[in-house]
Each structure stands twice: as C-alpha cells, then as structure tokens.
Amino acid sequence: MSNRPFVIDFLHAGGIHLSQYDHHIVRKLSSLRGQFLDQEIYEAMLRAQDPILYEVYEVKGAEVAGELIHGITIIHPGKVGTEYFMTKGHYHLLLDTAEVYYCLQGQGSMVMETPEGDWAVEPLRPQSTLYVPPRWAHRTVNTSPSEDLVIFFVYPGNAGHDYGTIEKQGYRKLVVERDGKPEIIDNLRWLPPEKR
C-alpha cells in the first residue's frame, strides 16, 4: 500500500467489501482442526464439504512499528454441532500490542484471555467498538443464525500472530447455542498455566 495518504470505501453491494486491499485470506473449516468442541461432528462435516468459515481483507504496509494494519473480517453464519463458526484466534507475537475492532454488521462475541488465564467475552453489535488490550488473545464468533458478522480491525504493523499457543488447548471459554441463544461454557480441554 502507498506511503501517501489514501481513502478506502466500504462498498455495500451484496455484502460489505473494501474498494482496495492487499490480501484476501480465506479460512475454511479444515484450517480449524482440533478447535471445535465436537470433534466427531467436525470430521463428519469435513468429509461432506470444506465450507469457508471466514475471510479477511487486509490493507497492509510494512510490518514495522509505527505502521497500522487494518481491514475487515467477514465471519459467515454456521455451527459445528452447537458451536458457532469462529476465527482461529491468536495472541500477538509482540504480546504488548493492542487491537481495535469496529462492528459494521451482524451479531457476535469476542472471546479473549491472557497468558495468566484471565478471560472475557464481550458482545459485537453494529456501531460498537471493542478494545483488545495488550496481552489479550482474541477470537471472533458469529452468533447470528443467518447473517455475516463484519468487523473492521486495526492493529500495529509489528504485532505479528502467534496461533500455536491457542491451537494447543483452545480458549478457556467457548460460545455455543443453547435454546436458540448464545451461551458461554467452559472448555474442558483448557488447563490453567500452572498445569500445562
């Protein structure tokens, strides 16, 4: 992307799109192996098809301090068993870096935790912003039965992504559907830091 000032439009034709971006990342069900609660249903779904769970459109300059990476993530509606479609989630490699999200469309939750095991689950609804402080891992969950969840994000260019820590045991909390509504439950695979 240019080092001159520039403007990007949000286009509302058949869903929200950016008028310009550098990368389009597509994550399918197969890229979240081991992350969903019901592994049997996960494997059965995957044998039938490998649906797209979410897409990221990134506007990205150099990955250095002082730069800001921004863009939109679109999480499609759906579930694996009772568990809603969600992002892989990550810590920032440079742990002391924050991120801001602005919800453009849909309904969802941001599931967060710290290396010490503190946790938070906050709602994402249109026109709300969500601040993820430094040191908090973050995962986005689409809790709508039918609508895409579309969020704008911005984070430091040198933050990087650490996926491995979360891949090992998942997040402390999961968001599932109970009686037609989202509910937060414990992840039985999760271990406190002193037991890892």
Write down how long the chain is.
196
Report the distance separating Cα 181 and Cα 107, nearest Å: 12
Which residue in 155, 156, 173, 182 binds ligand PA5 (CB under 6 A)?
155
Q: Is residue 113 at the binding interface for ligand PA5, with CB under 6 A as the rule?
A: no
Task: Name the segment binding Ni ion (CB under 5 A); options: 32-40, 81-89, 94-102, 171-179.
Answer: 94-102
Q: CB under 5 to 8 A by kind: which of ligand PA5, Ni ion, none does 87 bind?
A: ligand PA5
Partner residues linked to 23 by β-bridges: 58
Q: Which amino acid is at 36?
A: F
Q: Is residue 113 at the binding interface for Ni ion, with CB under 5 A as the rule?
A: no
Which residue in 99, 101, 104, 111 binds Ni ion (CB under 5 A)?
99
CB neighbour burial string for 71-87, b if at least 16 within 10 angstroms, e if fewer? bbbbbbbbbbbbbbbbb
- Scan for tokens 């994550």, then name that residue: 27
Query: What mask, x for binding ligand PA5 by CB under 6 A, covers residues 38 to 77?
Result: ------------------x----------------x----
Which residue in 99, 108, 149, 150 binds ligand PA5 (CB under 6 A)?
99
Of 150, 120, 126, whose CA–CA distance to 138 is shortest?
120
- Note the residues at the interface with Ni ion (CB under 5 A): 99
